[in-house]
A and B are shown apart, each in its own frame.
Chain A
């Protein structure tokens, strides 16, 4: 479980997140939506401490990650992240991208890591690309590799920051399909997305962020049919 208590994040004078408290239960899939600049990425990045919160606490599995004494690398092994721009390691092959962290961080043997990696690549239909460098892949293929690279660490949590926003339209589906299948496996997911159809289908809960606060927190059918706040109504009118 991820628990967020009174999370505040400021960049200089700019308060990006204001006193957010929420929970993500085990196995839950939450979609985080909201206008540009509302703090969605910052919120996600505070969960694994890519951004250090200004105030407030974040707990993952009851470990307080905002405690400076905590071994954050250890916690991060259990929290995968997928970025908008993939961030694959360009100097490593697809297979090496997948095996690097399991070998170097978890101490898996090369053979075990490679077997696991091939299994994951098969799952996303990319086993033929194992020995290719990322520059040879399409955007959709890169993002699928990025997802299984994170999964290779066998995390209990997965964070996605607009995983399809940098993709050509025809490649969005292949990535969303992978995420849909992943959601069925019971892994806990937090997904920042502008894909409303996907959020409606896959999410258990929608968090609507507006200027650094959670303006709405509701199941998708409720949120998309009867949003309470005026801001959410305006937002949905624009994007739907």
Chain B
């Protein structure tokens, strides 16, 4: 028997030999370890969302600027980040840039940079749409009162734009939360990675991975619930 076949056969027999299916008590001692990965995932998501969002505001203002080069820059930026795989972007930041700058970026940091840059590309489109949806009379009212452009954006246009697109932005961050599992590929000890570590250690797969899946699901549902709540509350205030 070739070694490979032998391994497959032994794994088969191992799986078949199990008596109970989904026995979470087997990973009970590892649960705190996995759960602290959820904190890493959340921290990672929040950091990426905050940086991504700030960058998205700047990009969206570029996109509606009268100055063409700014518009070009923002459009090309968005096009590139939307047109290439996220995992490739992550690999470039984590593996390739250290060769360029001579500094090894820690996995989480590389993840936050990549995800912030990436989500800014998507959110800037959402924000641009929100800005354009604000009645142009609002802008004219501010102008006729002598309000300068930056103040008008900050106090009049953006608050109204955000009110309309807040649910969409929360959806963006839900996507971010799920996509964050990709940082496990560069070795960050997030929720996903910790599930894999436990699986590899104990040589059992179902329990840790399904447990991780449940934690993701609960996090996503929590955010979804929050988004729905926001939406109904906003509709009521109109």
Contacts and interface: CB of A to CB of B under 8 A. Distances in A.
Interface of A: 48, 50, 73-74, 76-77, 79-81, 83, 85, 87-91, 100-101, 104-105, 135, 149-150, 153
A87 B156 CA distance: 11
A48 B238 contact: no
B145 A153 contact: yes
A76 B140 contact: no
A76 B145 contact: yes
Given A83-B140, A91-B159, A77 B135 contact: no
Contacts of A77: 145-146
Interface of B: 135, 137-138, 140-141, 143-148, 151, 155-156, 159-160, 163, 238
A89 B144 contact: no
A87 B145 CA distance: 12
B147 A87 contact: no
B155 to A, nearest CB: 7
A87 B140 contact: yes
Contacts, number: 58
Given A100-B155, A135-B238, A87 B141 contact: yes
A50 B144 contact: yes
Contact of B146 (A73, A87, A149): A73
A150 B144 contact: yes
Contacts of A149: 145
A76 B146 contact: yes
A77 B148 CA distance: 11
10 A-B pairs with the lowest CB-CB distances in the bound complex, closest first: A77-B146, A101-B145, A87-B141, A87-B137, A81-B144, A76-B146, A105-B146, A73-B146, A91-B159, A104-B151
Contact of B160 (A73, A90, A153): A90
B147 to A, nearest CB: 6
A102 to B, nearest CB: 9
Given A83-B141, A105-B147, A135-B238, 7 more contacts: A77-B145, A87-B141, A91-B163, A100-B145, A101-B146, A105-B151, A150-B145
B135 A73 contact: no
A91 B137 contact: no
B142 to A, nearest CB: 8
Contacts of B156: 89
A80 B147 contact: no
Nearest to B159: A91
Contact of A85 (B137, B146, B160): B137
Contact of B148 (A73, A81, A88, A135): A73
Contacts of A50: 140, 143-144
Nearest to A106: B146
B163 to A, nearest CB: 7
A145 B237 CA distance: 20
A105 B145 contact: yes
B141 A153 contact: no
B138 A87 contact: yes
